[in-house]
Amino acid sequence: MEKEFKILVADRNQHVRKFLKRELMAEGYRVGLAKNVQEVLKKVYHSETLDLLILDPDLPGIDKLSLFKKLQDRIPALPVVVHTYLTDYTDDTNILSEVAFVEKSGSSVEGLKKTVYAMLQKHKTG
């Protein structure tokens, strides 16, 4: 039986968090939620079973660059899918070793699911 992957969805908007949780659970993933940086860091560093983080870096509590640096320090490295608006995107994600970018839009959930699947398969085998 294939491993059931655990994903953490971090977004300041509770509707986005709940929507992504519902969509990802329908794909067979276990999904946790975080609404701020403190919750993200607690779950990233205290959950050994976490396989991937979907992150809108516009979370309250810290600037994006500092957050990416803190995430980079995790061992083992955690794959991150940055899910944000293109206008908010900066090239700070090059700090992270395993990162993908999916732009938020009305139809982004299908692209997000494909990206999540690809990242998990790569991380599982590589």
What is the tens place of the pLDDT at every residue in 58-110?
Answer: 888 788 888 888 888 887 888 999 888 765 555 555 656 678 878 887 777 99
Spatial contact of 57 and 64, defined as CB atoms under 8 Å apart: yes
* C-alpha span between 15 and 9 (Å, rounded): 12
The answer to whether residue 12 scores a pLDDT higher than 80 is: yes
Distance CA 36, CA 58 (A): 9
Structural domain spans, the chain: 6-125
Cα separation, 26 vs 24, in Å, equals 5
Would you say residue 7 has pLDDT above 50? yes
Q: Which residue has the tokens 């640096």?
A: 69
More confident residue, 39 or 57: 39
Instruction: Specify the pLDDT at position 1.
Output: 33
Domain formed by 6-125, architecture: 3-Layer(aba) Sandwich (3.40)
